[in-house]
Amino acid sequence: MIGFLKRADWLLNASVVFLSAAGLLVLASSGPDLFAKQAVFFAVGFAFMIAAPLFDFRHLVNYRWLILSVLALSVILLLSVHFFGVEVSGSKSWLDFKLFRIQPSEFAKVALITVLSAFFSQRHIAIKRPLTILGSFAYFIIPAVLILTEPDLGSTLILFGIWFGFLLVAGLPAKYVAAGVALFALVGAAAWNVGFKDYQKDRILAVFNPEADPLGVNYNVIQSKNAIGSAGFFGKGFKQGEIVQLGFLPAAQTDFAFASFTEEWGILGGTLIIIAFAFLMWRVSAIGSASEDNFSKFICLGTMIFLGLQFAVNMGSVVGFTPVIGVAFPFLSAGGSNLIVSMFLLGIVQNIASRRTA
């Protein structure tokens, strides 16, 4: 065990601890009722990251039934949401177990990454075959439809990004990429007309008209910009951010956790958050590049896509470049399911790191 721990990537661990500690600072300042739960989720997730090197996840690729069972379990959980889920902010996406809630859509992302890693580790050389593309699409579409009908547009787009990212890295020909983009545009147009709710349309349109309805659809983003813009270099100090403390910034602990942190800890603090996240992504990339088997490489790839897409969408919504669709900033935003899932994936990455010289 000591040997595995020595070979683990402790620089990666340090970046996770830094980002998670920043998230806990946000909660200690503006959401103390959530602090204890988030701290427990962090402890559980970090314990898994430390213990993960004891198990060799590379052998999963040899047990197709086990990997498919993980996907099947995630589909069952998603179906359960439709019958037994609780609604929060207009989305029926959570299962309530009294002491805590779980969001099955987060676990579906892990299941899809695991299934696609096993799938493409053996079939990436056949990426030009339509049956290969359709086979991977079948793994994506079932959980995607269930999540979209909750409705949870953000998680659906992240799921799509994971699937499409795997296709691109596996070497999808340019003509297929163009066809995929065209199909995505057609599906998006159809969803706009028959699937999207009015508030979802308003959030998308708000990106192109940021000054419209400042007390309505654009209110959150305007307050987010104000929080960041008024922070100064060093920030206003712990519990001294007026916009957050006086309740002018909704979702200060979740969707706009970065703005909340930056108001109190300044442009310096916000920059350190971005650097720490970029460093984390670099470590995952380095571990994937140094791994010796395709399954490990694809797991690292999937982890990077999962974390990177969340970062891009969340940061985009914080400054008004993308719609506010409920996508978390990894490790910084409050939310036990997303934190546990992110640490679970990084635990597998740590497992890969610890066996590079084994």
Is residue 211's pLDDT more than 80?
A: no
- Is 233 within 8 Å of 267 (Cβ atoms)? yes
Tell me the average pLDDT across 225-229. Answer: 95
Structure tokens of 78? Answer: 């998603």
With a pLDDT cut of 70, the percent of the chain lying above it is: 96
Tell me the average pLDDT across 116-137. Answer: 85
pLDDT tens track for 129-143: 888 888 999 999 999
- Is 319 within 8 Å of 242 (Cβ atoms)? no
pLDDT tens track for 59-103: 777 778 888 898 999 999 999 998 888 887 778 888 988 778 899
Q: pLDDT category, 214, cuts 50, 70, 90?
A: confident
- Is 97 within 8 Å of 74 (Cβ atoms)? no
Number of alpha carbons in the 13 Å side-chain half-sphere of residue 97: 9
Is residue 193's pLDDT more than 70?
A: yes
Instruction: Measure CA 173 to chain center.
Output: 27
pLDDT at 339: 96
From the list 331, 341, 324, 338, the residue with the least C-alpha distance to 90 is 324
> Is 101 strand, coil or helix?
strand
pLDDT at 358: 46
When the pLDDT of each residue in the chain is averaged and rounded to a whole number, the result is 89
pLDDT at 77: 94
Is residue 169's pLDDT more than 80?
A: yes
pLDDT at 173: 82
d(CA 252, CA 263): 11
Peptide linkage before 250 cis (omega within 30 of 0): no
pLDDT tens track for 298-325: 999 999 999 999 999 999 999 999 998 8
Residue matched to tokens 């919504």: 317
pLDDT tens track for 14-47: 999 999 999 999 999 998 999 999 999 999 999 9
pLDDT at 5: 63
What is the model's pTM? 0.93
Q: pLDDT category, 153, cuts 50, 70, 90?
A: confident
Please tell me the least confidently modeled range out of 61-70, 144-153, 231-240: 61-70
Q: Is 108 exposed, middle or buried (0-12, 13-18, 19+ CB in 10 A)?
A: buried
d(CA 306, CA 296): 15
d(CA 310, CA 85): 24
pLDDT at 356: 66
Is residue 345's pLDDT more than 80?
A: yes
For residue 137, report the phi and psi dihedrals to the nearest 5 degrees: -65, -35
Is residue 251's pLDDT more than 60?
A: yes
